[in-house]
Amino acid sequence: MPLPLLQRASNEVQEGKSLRAVAKSHDICHVTLYRFHKKRLSAAQTLVSRLEALQCHFTWDLDLSRSLLLRCRDKLLDIGTENGNKWLGHIYNLRGFIQYKLGSNEDAQSFFNKATEAFSQIKNTDEGPWLVVNYGNLAWLHHHLGDQAESEAYLSKVNALNKKYPSPSQEELHPEIYAEKAYTLMTFNGDMNLVADYFQRAIEMQPDRVEWNSWHVLALTYANKRSSTGLEDDIFKKMRIAQEQDPENLYLAAHYLWQRAKRGESIEDEARELATKVLRSPVGSYSGLKPLLWVYRKYISDDEDIDLAEEALKNHPDERYLKRRAALCYEKRLFFSDSPTTTSMLDRAVSLHQEDGRMSIRYHMKAANIQHQSFVRESSIKVLEKIRDRGRDRMCGEIRKFLADLQEP
């Protein structure tokens, strides 16, 4: 009996048709079809149970609203993808999962593949336990795409990695998995105490990973951020040690300065020295600019944080992230300061906020202009249509013409 014929008949039974009727219509022995269909269902159930046992984004019970997914997508875009970012593989894994949740399987697969490549470049090898989560994501994605053979292939790769690189502790997950799980929850603004616990478990099994220790301390800091007098002594000491071990981490350095300032230390000279380094570093939310601006505004002066943001924007005038940081500095200055404001300052604040909006519209136009059906393209078109229909934006005329041209054959 030809296998494709049995598969087609089994699909019809799966859709709810009578097995005997399907067997008769295809001239197949109903016993043969019954056995084939039962075996196929059993294999599918086994595959799902194996997928559910994986450690990856699809099994971590990440109950995310659409608005949170969109915010996290933008947050990951702001991080940057410069060379040397040790979290690049994790970032691409997250972006892939977010695109899957937003309905774009093609973009999801692209990002998962980029994660594989990033891990290979960062680790300088094509194999290692850091790929367990990545391969698990790909196994789930191919399962959802209906490509069970490819899903099985990635499941086999995960099993091979788990056997070759077992966890140092039988009662615990592999430290690489703990670290990626912690990074994921941290990005989604999850329970920071749980994030810190996951990093702590990873560090106990593999204490030489400097970046894990740095982010463990940052998670502890976020969990205790409501304190007006700074961190508890033991956490502050951990931050100092982490900063000494990871001196190139400017994001951590800025947070360390902030905590020292809360304790009443004089940090003005060090803040300005750090600002010089931040301005020379690649643009991104891990550059340290955001926490350093907090330090400037609260512990140096209202105006110098604006000067620093404008200097960064001068070096990179087209960066959305920097425009947002500068706009927020002006906003704080205008609404939460007793210092007098000027017309030019108000105009600049309005201009920056409007240019965040114009850049967003340009982005949606670029996405909509890609002649390939995808969730991202359809979403951008809907956004542009809403802006056009409200009729309040200065670019409405341009948007109206763009959408009209888009519909022309």
- Give the helix ranges, DSSP H, for 26-147: 30-52, 66-79, 88-101, 105-123, 131-144
Are residues 306 and 231 located together in one domain of the fold?
yes
Could you give the number of structural domains in the chain? 4
Of 167, 177, 242, 241, the C-alpha closest to 205 is 167
Residue where a domain terminates, one of 144, 164, 184: 164
Are residues 63 and 36 located together in one domain of the fold?
no
CATH number reported for the structural domain that contains residue 129 in this entry? 1.25.40.10
C-alpha pair distances (Å), 405 with each of 173, 358, 384, 391:
54, 20, 13, 18
In a domain? residue 195: no
Q: What is the pLDDT of residue 328?
A: 83
Are residues 316 and 241 located together in one domain of the fold?
yes
In a domain? residue 150: yes
Q: What share of the chain is helix, strand, coil (3-state, %, to 5)?
A: 75, 0, 25
Query: In degrees, to the nearest 5, what angle opens at C-alpha 305 toward C-alphas 342 and 307?
Result: 65
- What are the tens digits of pLDDT across the range 158-173? 999 999 999 998 889 9
Q: Which structural domain range is residue 38 located in?
A: 3-52
In a domain? residue 193: no
Are residues 16 and 89 located together in one domain of the fold?
no
- What are the tens digits of pLDDT across the range 129-168? 999 999 999 999 999 998 989 999 999 999 999 999 999 9
**Token duo for residue 45:** 């159930």
Residue where a domain terminates, one of 122, 140, 164: 164
The Cα–Cα gap between 227 and 235 comes to 13
Are residues 241 and 310 located together in one domain of the fold?
yes
Torsion on CA atoms 264, 268, 273, 276, rounded to nearest 10: 120
DSSP string, 150-214: HHHHHHHHHHHHHHHS--SSTTS--HHHHHHHHHHHHHTT--HHHHHHHHHHHHHH-TT-HHHHH
In a domain? residue 372: yes
Q: What is the pLDDT of residue 408?
A: 62
Q: What is the pLDDT of residue 3?
A: 59
The Cα–Cα gap between 97 and 109 comes to 9
Are residues 248 and 302 located together in one domain of the fold?
yes
Are residues 130 and 239 located together in one domain of the fold?
no
Radius of gyration of the chain (CA): 26
Q: What is the pLDDT of residue 144?
A: 93
Under 8 Å between Cβ of 154 and 136: yes
In a domain? residue 295: yes
At how many degrees (to 10) do helices 210-223 and 175-187 cross? 40
pTM recorded for the entire structure = 0.76
Residue where a domain terminates, one of 341, 376, 394: 341
In a domain? residue 211: no
Beta-carbon neighbour count of residue 222 at 10 Å? 15
**Token duo for residue 128:** 């290692």
In a domain? residue 169: no
The Cα–Cα gap between 144 and 269 comes to 55
Q: Kindly give the parts of the chain with pLDDT less than 70.
A: 1-4, 6, 10, 13-16, 19, 22-23, 30-31, 33-45, 81-84, 226-229, 341, 346, 350, 353-355, 357-360, 362-363, 374-376, 392-394, 408-409
Are residues 113 and 94 located together in one domain of the fold?
yes
**Token duo for residue 207:** 């204490």
The Cα–Cα gap between 184 and 69 comes to 12
Q: What is the pLDDT of residue 224?
A: 85
Q: What is the pLDDT of residue 113?
A: 97
Are residues 320 and 265 located together in one domain of the fold?
yes
Are residues 228 and 336 located together in one domain of the fold?
yes
Under 8 Å between Cβ of 49 and 140: no
Are residues 7 and 38 located together in one domain of the fold?
yes
In a domain? residue 9: yes
Q: What is the pLDDT of residue 204?
A: 95
Are residues 87 and 104 located together in one domain of the fold?
yes
